[in-house]
Structure 1
Amino acid sequence: MAETNAAVQQGLAHEGAEVTGAETHAGTEHHAEPLLLGFAPPVSIVSASMLVLIAILVWKGVPKLLAGGLDAKIAEIKAQLEEAKTLRAEAEALRKEYADKIAGAEKDAVAMLDHARHEAEAIVAKAQVDATETVARREKMAQDKIGAAELTAITQLRNQAATAAAAAARTLIAANHSAAADKALVDQAIAGI
């Protein structure tokens, strides 16, 4: 243990000498540059490590891998752009198709409306003709009924007149004719046969 204490004190004395040596150079401060494992400064070792790492990466083909990955990504993006162009062309075609269908539907609607108007005009014209014919037919039926009623009334009037005349004739004949006049008439009628 005594040896270790002596070694520690000797190391401390050595450090003290370096510190005092750094302060004694003409009033300027100089720092001792640390060495890594006693070879070179750490900056050189880090630089050398980076160069070795870059060399290993180049040797293993990492730049080719990165370039290949980027090329693959570029190819994928190009494919997506082509697909987008295709989809846009399809959408334009669909839009045009639907615009044509809409225009066709509008033409069909106008044609159907014109057809419906013509049919309505034809129906109205036929209804007017039918109404005129119906009025004429009913007017003729009414005239026929009036004629039949007149004929019936005339017939009834004649029948009543004939009945009245027969009754009057009977009364006159009964009043003015006698049995001898009747016998003469009967004989005259028999002689005419």
Structure 2
Amino acid sequence: MNLIFEPGIWSFANPEIWVGIGLLIFFGILIAAGVPKLVGSQLDAKAAKIQGDLDEAARLRAEAEALLAQIRKEKVEAEAQAADMMAAAEADARRLEVEAKAKLEETLARRQKMAETRIAQAEAQAAAEVKAAAVDLSAKAAEQILAARLSGQSKDPLLDAAIAQIGDRLN
């Protein structure tokens, strides 16, 4: 049943007793040498290092969250600024379009007026040329008619001179 109550288990001839006594002496030496304190201090140092790493990780996480919040805020601001710039650009484009239309209409009106003026000048010049040609033609015709009427009569040098001057005076 139980090994503790068997005869001969507690005798010094039993090698298991010597293993147990050696183990107790070994643990005693370890305790006397301060190994538990050394192990404890090593474990405490390791725990402190891990705690420091955890604190550093928490600080870095907080910084990352703050940076992420700032980036999101800047993104919203940049999107708002981009929307404002787009609206301003569209307004400028509309304004430039209206100005361009106005300038185009003004230019077209000015060119149309210039063309009408040139046409009026050409018409006036053509009318003047037609009038001058009509005057020349009528003077020549009058000269021929008068010459034909007078050819039947005797020639008068004063009348011939007056007829010759009619063409010059009508122009």
The residue number in structure 1 matching 2:102 is: 129
Aligned residues between the structures: 154
Pairing 1:118–2:66 present: no
1:100 is displaced (CA, Å) by: 1.5
Pairing 1:46–2:19 present: yes
In the alignment, residue 78 of structure 2 is paired with which amino acid? A
The residue number in structure 2 matching 1:167 is: 140
Q: Is the 8 A contact 1:35 1:42 kept in 2?
A: no
User: Residues 102 and 161 from structure 1, CA distance in 2 versus in 1: closer, same or farther, beyond 3 angstroms?
Assistant: same
TM-score scaled by length of structure 2: 0.80
1:166 is displaced (CA, Å) by: 1.4
Alpha-carbon separation, structure 1, partners of 2:41 and 2:62: 31
User: Residues 77 and 148 from structure 1, CA distance in 2 versus in 1: closer, same or farther, beyond 3 angstroms?
Assistant: same
Pairing 1:182–2:155 present: no
Q: Which residue among 74, 77, 80 is the counterpart of 1:104?
A: 77
Q: Which residue among 131, 149, 153 is the counterpart of 2:126?
A: 153
SS in 2 for 1:179: coil
SS in 2 for 1:40: coil
User: Residues 34 and 82 from structure 1, CA distance in 2 versus in 1: closer, same or farther, beyond 3 angstroms?
Assistant: closer
1:40 is displaced (CA, Å) by: 3.4
User: Residues 133 and 176 from structure 1, CA distance in 2 versus in 1: closer, same or farther, beyond 3 angstroms?
Assistant: same
TM-score scaled by length of structure 1: 0.71
In the alignment, residue 115 of structure 1 is paired with which amino acid? A
1:41 is displaced (CA, Å) by: 2.0
- Max radius of gyration: which structure? 1
Instruction: List alignment gaps of at least 5 residues for structure 2.
Output: 1-5, 163-171
Instruction: List alignment gaps of at least 5 residues for structure 1.
Output: 1-30, 187-193
In the alignment, residue 96 of structure 2 is paired with which amino acid? I
User: Residues 113 and 47 from structure 1, CA distance in 2 versus in 1: closer, same or farther, beyond 3 angstroms?
Assistant: same
Overall identity of the aligned pairs, in %? 36
1:180 is displaced (CA, Å) by: 3.4
Q: Which residue among 19, 34, 51 is the counterpart of 1:78?
A: 51
1:48 is displaced (CA, Å) by: 1.2
Q: Does 1 or 2 have the higher relative contact order (CA < 8 Å, sep 6+)?
A: 2
The residue number in structure 2 matching 1:7 is: none
In the alignment, residue 79 of structure 1 is paired with which amino acid? G
